[in-house]
Structure 1
Amino acid sequence: MAAVTNVTTDQFALLALKEHIKHDPSNLLANNWSTTSSVCSWIGVACGVRNRRVTALNISYLGLTGTIPPQLGNLSFLAVLAIRNNSFFGSLPEELSHLRGLKYFDFRFNNFHIEIPSWFVSLPRLQHLLLKHNSFVGKIPETIGYLSLLQELDLSDNQLSGTIPSSIFNISSLEILDFSGNQLSGSFPSIAFNMPSLFVIDLSDNGLSGGLPSNIFNYLPSLKFLFLSGNMLDGEIPSTLSKCNRWNLYPYR
């Protein structure tokens, strides 16, 4: 039998996060996140109109330092989770994989010096996965390519290594792909499926080598921006480039 959850469950989850904050320079959470008021009135919290459950948590740009508690995985109605431009560190608890309704995950500009966890594949509704500038290490999980609704994938400015998973280019909904500023190696992946929405590919400042696949642009009809500078690529630009949206295309930076 599944555990019954309600707004009290959400309150406990957010109070657990408050307890994991080591530094709150403006005392915003310390003073505002209080049991004397509804969680729906707390800074950075938004609730659904009908059920009054927490649907969004956005505590970006607050200068916070702390870790992410596993209790956040109990926010079962959460669609938006954003902690951009803080100093969070430590692990990303596997309990976050319980957030099955999550659409927007923004942890950019924090200090997660860890491997990107494989449990993101458990978030079937995820549309934006934004992990820029965190010192993430290791390889890009192949399972990210199974997020069939993903629109924006930003893993730039980390310390990721290894090759680019070919599964990434199976996501037909993808619009923006940014892996720039890492230590990725190997060749540019071949593309064998149509990607009608992809208009930005940024793989600059890595260690990619070899040439571009001759058929790469057959499957990218909406491509406008292709950034490949700072690699070790060679060979000719495929003639199929003309099949892209040429009036707005900037092939190299």
Structure 2
Amino acid sequence: MLKKYVVFYLLCMGVGYSSFALDIIAEEEKQSLLDIYNSTNGEEWTVSWDIGSHVGNWQGVTLKNGHVVGLNLFNNGLKGTLPQSIGNLTHLVHLNLAFNNLTGQLPTTIVKLENLRVLKLEMNRLKGALPDGIGRLHRLEELSLYNNFISGAIPESVGNIKGLRIFNLSSNNLKGIIPASIGELTQLEVLGLFENGLEGSLPQEMGKLGHLKELVLANNRLGGEIPVEFGQLASLKVLQIQNNSFKSFKGLKLMDAKQFLVFDTDDTTLGPYNEINLERMRTRTADTKFEDDDNNE
């Protein structure tokens, strides 16, 4: 009888311990979430948090093994600045704060989130330069910051993010050149730099982007010649480079006109390229559409 009682007691203790373990979250990470809540007017969010309840019940927060691995507050009425303490959420894999009214500079501590795979901050009012150490986010697969007021140059260190598939900085205030290191992003499928103040020539290293499907560089101050290495971009379906100052488009003649769904340049003499379905070209805009693939996650 005693043996049965001991077994039953241990089982109860095990269940109790498991339940207790599920409620544990690192205090530093909880405080970071509270800092975000307080600095972005959390009480006025579209869906607010009951900060008196367990963190696992907070809207958009995903926990795993006692750590915050996901924060999705897409289109949730955030208004204000992001705190530097966001850098303490070092287990974050997915961060989506897009389509809000975030202001101020992107916290420099964002580069501490080295487990991030998705960083979506598009359609806000963020300003300032991208941190030079952005390349520390080496696991990143998607970096989307379009429609903000990001200024400065594209850091050379972006070339360290080898697995990046989507890189969209369209409709910002970027200056300077497109760094040659961008050619190291050999998994890249979408590159959006539309409507900035970028200048200089396109780096020939871009010819190494064999998986690239969309290249949107329109409305900048880019010049020089289109590199002949563009002929290697066999996967490219969307090319928009109009409203720049290119002096020669000969490099485009090495590409197969049949590969394109959208083809926009300032050169009207490219023969078969001009026969691409014009209606598709008119209805396709730069990748700044008002939607988000993650908004139901």
Q: Place the TM-score, normalised by the shorter chain, in its bin.
A: 0.7 to 0.9
CA contact (8 A) 2:209 2:233 kept: yes
Alignment partners' CA distance in 2, 1:232 and 1:10:
48
Are 1:195 and 2:211 an aligned pair? no
User: Partner residue of 2:43?
Assistant: 22
Corresponding residue of 1:60: none
Note the alpha carbon deviations across 1:26-45, whole angstroms, 9 max, x for none.
Answer: xx647xx486x765456545
Aligned to 2:8: none
TM-score, normalised via structure 1 length: 0.74
| Structure-1 separation of matches of 2:35 and 2:205 | 51
Relative to structure 1, the CA distance from residue 21 to residue 213 in structure 2 (aligned partners, 3 Å threshold; closer, same or farther) is closer
Match of residue 105 from structure 2:
115
Unaligned runs of 5+ in 2: 1-20, 241-263, 265-297
Are 2:69 and 1:79 equivalent residues in the alignment? Answer: yes
Gaps of 5+ in 1: 54-76
TM-score relative to the length of structure 2: 0.64
Question: Does residue 137 in structure 1 map to residue 137 in structure 2?
Answer: no
Quick one: distance in 1 between partners of 2:238 and 2:164?
A: 19
- Partners of 1:141 and 1:197 in 2: CA distance: 22
Alpha-carbon RMSD across the aligned residues, in angstroms, is: 2.9
Check the 8 A contact 2:128/2:152 in 1, yes or no: yes
Q: Say if 1:137 and 1:159, in contact at 8 Å, map to a contact too.
A: yes
Q: CA offsets per residue over residues 164-215 of structure 1, 9 Å max, x none?
A: 1111122111111000001111122113763221111000011111221233
* Mapping 1:213-228, distance limit 5 Å: 213-217=203-207, 219-228=208-217
Are 2:45 and 2:77, in contact at CA under 8 Å, matched by a contact in 1?
no
Asked whether the equivalents of residues 106 and 129 of structure 1 are also in contact (C-alpha less than 8 Å), the reply is: yes
State which of 170, 194, 199 in structure 2 corresponds to 1:204.
194
Greater Cα radius of gyration, structure 1 or 2? 2
The answer on 1:249 being equivalent to 2:237 is yes
Deviating beyond 6 angstroms after TM superposition, the runs of 4 or more aligned structure 1 residues are 14-19
Query: Deviations 1:77-126 (Å, cap 9, x if unpaired)?
Result: 11111111122122322222121210111111112211111101111101
Cα distance in 2, alignment partners of residues 171 and 99 from structure 1: 20
User: How far did 1:46 drift?
Assistant: 4.7
Report the Cα distance in structure 2 between the residues aligned to 1:167 and 1:17, rounded to whole angstroms.
Answer: 27
Residue 240 of structure 1 pairs with residue 203 of structure 2: no
Contact 1:170 1:193 in 2 (8 A): no
Name the CA shift for 1:161/1:112 in 2 (closer, same or farther; >3 Å): same
Task: Give the aligned length.
Answer: 216
Q: Whose helix proportion is higher, 1 or 2?
A: 2
Report % sequence identity: 32
Cα 1:44–1:90, aligned 2, differ >3 Å: closer, same or farther? closer
In the alignment, structure 1 residue 7 sits paired with structure 2 residue 28: no
Q: Structure 2 CA distance, aligned partners of 1:164 and 1:42?
A: 35
Answer yes or no: is the 8 Å Cα contact 2:85–2:109 preserved in 1.
Answer: no
* 2:14 corresponds to: none
Distance in 2, Cα, partners of 1:119 & 1:193: 26
Question: Does residue 1:97 correspond to 2:87, yes or no?
Answer: yes
Code of the aligned partner of 1:226: L
Q: Return closer, same or farther for 1:146/1:250 CA change in 2, 3 Å cut-off.
A: same
Counterpart Cα distance in 1 of 2:162 and 2:181: 11
- CA–CA distance in structure 2, aligned partners of residues 18 and 118 of structure 1: 19
Q: CA deviation at 1:237?
A: 1.6
User: Using the alignment, how far apart are the partners of 1:17 and 1:210 within structure 2?
Assistant: 39
Give the counterpart of 2:151 among 152, 161, 170: 161
Q: Report the alpha carbon displacement of residue 135 of structure 1 after superposing the two structures with TM.
A: 1.0
Query: 3-state SS of the aligned residue for 1:196?
Result: coil
Indicate conservation of the 8 Å contact 2:119/2:143, yes or no.
yes
Kept after mapping to 1: 8 A contact 2:61/2:71: no
